[in-house]
């Protein structure tokens, strides 16, 4: 990689890292895992920077690579760890931290594809077409998953709120 390419990648990394990390975290629900996955995805982006830099949405490429890495990791292990409520850090959290924990738990409860759509559409602010291409699905499928995900999140985070008529 030449010096200009390294500078381009360094600029990309500085501007995209936080958004990509938030998107991966929203999709997987585990901060440490999201950091590992995002780091791995950026390492792969660096190794293939010539190709990735020409991608129409390099940030989406990084997030998708991170999510694919997560799926590969999960498939290799094929086991689930039971959640121990006694070890839940949200139990001792401050009010703002409890809200973050509630949002994270609500995101974690969504099906994988809905989490991925939320991560790309909401956290990375990608349009429907770019999200569809990044996930390899139709734009209408993105819209449907986003609609279902937001409805589920709304129900989970504000279950007692009166539904106001849309005008």
Tell me: the pLDDT tens digits for 3-46? 788 999 999 999 999 999 999 998 888 899 999 999 999 999 99
Cα→Cα distances 72→26, 37, 92, 107, 155, Å: 18, 11, 34, 20, 31
Rounded distance between C-alpha atoms, residue 3 and residue 115, angstroms: 37
For 74-133, the pLDDT digits (tens) are 555 554 444 455 545 545 545 445 557 788 888 889 998 999 899 889 888 889 998 998
Q: What is the pLDDT of residue 29?
A: 82
The sign of the dihedral angle between the CA atoms of 105, 110, 111, 115 is: negative
Check if the beta carbon of residue 52 is closer than 8 Å to that of residue 58. Answer: yes
Helix (H) or strand (E) holding 13: helix 3-28
**In the chain, what's the furthest Cα-to-Cα distance?**
58
CATH code, 3-80+92-157: 1.20.140
CB of 49 closer than 8 Å to CB of 8: yes
pLDDT for the residue numbered 90: 47
């Amino acid at each position: 990689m030449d010096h200009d390419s390294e500078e381009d990648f360094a600029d990309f990394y500085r501007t995209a890292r936080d958004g990509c990390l938030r998107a991966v975290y929203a999709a997987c629900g585990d901060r440490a895992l999201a950091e590992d996955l995002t780091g791995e995805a950026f390492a792969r982006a660096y190794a293939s920077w010539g190709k990735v830099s020409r991608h129409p949405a390099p940030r989406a490429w990084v997030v998708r690579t991170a999510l694919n890495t997560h799926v590969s990791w999960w498939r290799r292990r094929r086991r689930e760890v039971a959640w121990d409520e006694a070890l839940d850090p949200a139990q001792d959290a401050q009010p703002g931290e409890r809200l973050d924990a509630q949002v994270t738990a609500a995101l974690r409860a969504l099906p994988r594809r809905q989490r991925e759509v939320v991560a790309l559409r909401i956290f990375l602010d990608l349009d429907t077409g770019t999200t569809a291409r990044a996930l390899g699905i139709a734009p209408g499928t993105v819209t449907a998953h986003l609609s279902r995900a937001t409805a589920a999140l709304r129900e989970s985070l504000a279950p007692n709120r009166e539904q106001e008529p849309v005008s």
